[in-house]
Amino acid sequence: MKLSQTLPIVLLAYLLLGTAPSLPKLYVIGDSISMRYGPFLEKYVQGVWQYDRKSDDGQAAKNLDVPVGANGGDSRMVLEYLKLKAPDKTFQPDVLLLNCGLHDIKRNPETNAIQVDSASYRKNLEAIYQLLHKRNIRLVWMRTTSVEDERHNTRSKAFKRYARDLDAYNAIADEVMHKHGVSIVDLYTFTRSLGSEHFVDHVHYDDAAMQLQAGYIAGFLQGLLPLTQKRK
């Protein structure tokens, strides 16, 4: 085929690629639970979503109980991070998948003081929603996975966590998100249905559970695709 004949074909291919709809953008902020199911989720949404998350060069993985880098930490940390991201006009995901709660409910083993009290947790979630709403970023909330008191507190010496606090903070988040019509992924109930045998330490799960968590989340996100298309 002559060059003069191939040029129109190449040009047509270029134009088609240039006008092809881009994949919707998904951005994840979460604690170490999300860090661990994250690689599976990224794999499952490949070709459907552009996946990105709060990340680092590996420091968060060195101690999953210490929230740095990729580990979003408590609600105060998430809010401060998003305040820093908000002025960046290139930060415009179609969906921001968010969780914070496990670090908020840490209790000092000596004083029993909780890291973020319930009123502050509610206030922080409200501020997070308002910030994202102002930036026209769709929030999707992830309910925090479970804590089993004996399992957790016999393995963790630096801090305590209790199921009653987790339930209360999940309820607070439910109220805030329902008020604003935010979609909720009930990873708490889904993961509890898998059974306690999938724990590998005080709060984290084995590969089998993480793959199932990622599949559950990916399925939920699939249902949001028509909503992201409406926003284009």
- Residue-wise pLDDT for 33-61, tens only, equals 999 999 999 999 999 999 999 999 898 99
Positive or negative CA dihedral for 226, 46, 185, 27?
negative
Q: Give the Cα separation of 176 and 188 in Å (integer).
A: 17
Domain limits, the chain: 22-230
Q: Residue 8: its pLDDT value, please? A: 45
Cα separation of 50 and 18, whole Å? 17
User: What does the pLDDT read at residue 229?
Assistant: 66
Q: Which helix (H) or strand (E) holds 142?
A: strand 138-142
Neighbouring C-beta atoms of residue 173, cutoff 10 Å: 25
* Main-chain dihedrals φ then ψ at residue 3, nearest 5 degrees: -60, -40
Q: Which letter does DSSP use for residue 205 in this model?
A: B
Reported pTM: 0.88
The pLDDT tens digits for 175-213 are 999 999 999 999 999 999 999 999 999 999 999 999 999
Residue 12 has pLDDT above 70, yes or no: no
Mean pLDDT value of segment 133-161 = 96
pLDDT score, position 21 = 63
For the chain, report the end-to-end CA distance as a whole number of angstroms: 40
20 compared with 28, residue with greater pLDDT: 28
User: From CA 181, how far away is CA 206, in angstroms rounded?
Assistant: 33
pLDDT at 117: 98
pLDDT > 90: what percent of the chain? 82
Contact indicator for 87, 18 with CB cutoff of 8 Å: no
Give residue 231's pLDDT.
58
Q: Does position 13 have pLDDT exceeding 70, yes or no? A: no
Segment 121-144 shows an average pLDDT of 98
Domain 22-230 has CATH 3.40.50.1110: yes
Q: What residue type is assigned to position 220 of the chain?
A: F
Q: Which pLDDT score is estimated for 108?
A: 97
CB 72 within 8 A of CB 100: yes
